[in-house]
Amino acid sequence: MLDSIPDSTAGPRDRVLAAALELFAHRGYFSTSVPDIVRASGVSTGSVYHHFGDKEGIARTLYDSVIERMEQALEAIRERHPDTASRCRSMIELLFDIAEHDPDLMSFMLHARHREFLPAITPVCSSRPFQLMRGVVAEGMRRGEVRRMDETVAAVSVFGGALRLIQMRLDGALDRPLNDFLDDTWDCAWRAIASDAA
Amino acid sequence: MLDSIPDSTAGPRDRVLAAALELFAHRGYFSTSVPDIVRASGVSTGSVYHHFGDKEGIARTLYDSVIERMEQALEAIRERHPDTASRCRSMIELLFDIAEHDPDLMSFMLHARHREFLPAITPVCSSRPFQLMRGVVAEGMRRGEVRRMDETVAAVSVFGGALRLIQMRLDGALDRPLNDFLDDTWDCAWRAIASDAA
DNA sequence: TTGACTGGAACGAACGTTCGTTCTAATATT
DNA sequence: AATATTAGAACGAACGTTCGTTCCAGTCAA
């Protein structure tokens, strides 16, 4: 799984990132002030600006690190599994795991793309993790494991349900852990795009 | 379809709502200042506060009206169609239509639920339109049109893909209109939850 | 001694909101 | 019919606060 961002004992840079992740995830970007981050991290205003330049620099750094670790985890899954079905299923499992184990991280990642969160950030659909998921589905289509159709539609159809379920869990609308819903979710997801041959 | 919120010739209250919808949809809640709304609507600061109390009052009023009209449109579909499949398909068509015809409205509705947008608003998953969609799926399950599984999972599985596709379209990541993807989307959506009997 | 880093006071700008006034049109009074 | 009264709507200048950011004196490692 993804390593959590370190806290307390770590250097000031990491302490700021850890505090910002939690605050951004809970209150959002604009409802979190720099003084809030300064207070929560125990790092001084001057240091924060020395390390990150400005408030957006904090968010951008955070976003980049989250996206990169996410991409690596997904890529690892792609390498480990040969067939499209187990690739997709493992990816959904990964997403569920992260959402349960590190909800702040998942919350940040799911929300960071909105205009409201980070001004002028690349939208999710163009983010590398999503492209990777899309690529897996597209490859499955070439191999005949996935039905022929628009690649984008196929990608959103496998992962769309899982992502929305995660959002519900993060919003507190699901009282049981996501794993309890994994089998049903996966069943729906794969039926949606599986080739009729199989 | 849903009526658009009136502009220019309308009363000050409606002009404020129309301006706020556009601004909130494009820039988000916190990136839109009250002076922005005042400028865009041509209504004075004092009037805005006279009618809506505070900034959040504008957003809440807007949200309530959008949710209510959305719920009515979905309920009309439920009444017009007897079976679950055509109900769900019509609902996806409706969502696609709104996204194409009134992207600001759809953008506002999809984003309004985030902590970042409206502080302390009821999350989507608890909103009445979503409950209505969920109800349709649940009824389909009782009738045997939908496979037996967790109701929530079934609901997010039918509509999750479509909603994510809409988000991509709003983000400018889809160059063709959503209708071009309707058949593929619907095919995936219904396969995901359709009873094996049929 | 030097250079990188830290600290927190201080700054201007922009925010959401308030306030006293003016305008408008309907009602009451003569 | 003409005037006086009034309540609500509209207005925009001004307020206090908080924001993101800067600045510079102080600290510590090399």
pLDDT in tens, A185-198: 999 999 999 998 75
Task: Give the integer Cα–Cα distance in Å for B112 and B148.
Answer: 32
CATH of A64-193 among 3.50.70.10, 3.40.50.620, 1.10.357.10, 1.10.390.10: 1.10.357.10
Å separating the CA of residue B54 from the C1' of nucleotide C22: 23
CATH 1.10.357.10 fits B65-193, yes or no: yes
Domain parsing of chain B, residue ranges: 7-53, 65-193
Q: How confident is the model at residue A100 (pLDDT cuts 50, 70, 90)?
A: very high
Least confident of A106-110, A150-154, B139-143, B158-162: A106-110
Q: Is the pLDDT of residue B24 over 60?
A: yes
Do A170 and A103 meet the contact criterion of CB atoms below 8 Å apart?
A: yes
Query: Which listed CATH number (1.10.10.60, 1.20.1270.360, 3.20.10.10, 1.20.1440.230) goes with B7-53?
Result: 1.10.10.60
Angle at B47 between CA B37 and CA A29, to 5 degrees: 35
* Distance from residue A116's CA to nucleotide C17's C1', rounded to whole Å: 23
Query: Phi and psi for B195 in degrees, rounded to 5?
Result: -65, 145
Does A181 contact B152 at a Cβ distance shorter than 8 Å?
yes
Segment among A41-45, B90-94, B113-117, B164-168 with least mean pLDDT: B113-117
Contact B150 A117 (CB under 8 A): no
Q: Which of residues 166-195 of B touch strand D (CB under 7 A)?
A: none
Are B96 and B162 in contact, with CB atoms under 8 Å apart?
A: yes
CA distances for B136 relative to B85, B126, B131, B140, B176, angstroms = 10, 15, 9, 6, 30
Is residue B102 predicted with pLDDT exceeding 90? yes
Give the domain A6-53 fold. Answer: Arc Repressor Mutant, subunit A (1.10.10)
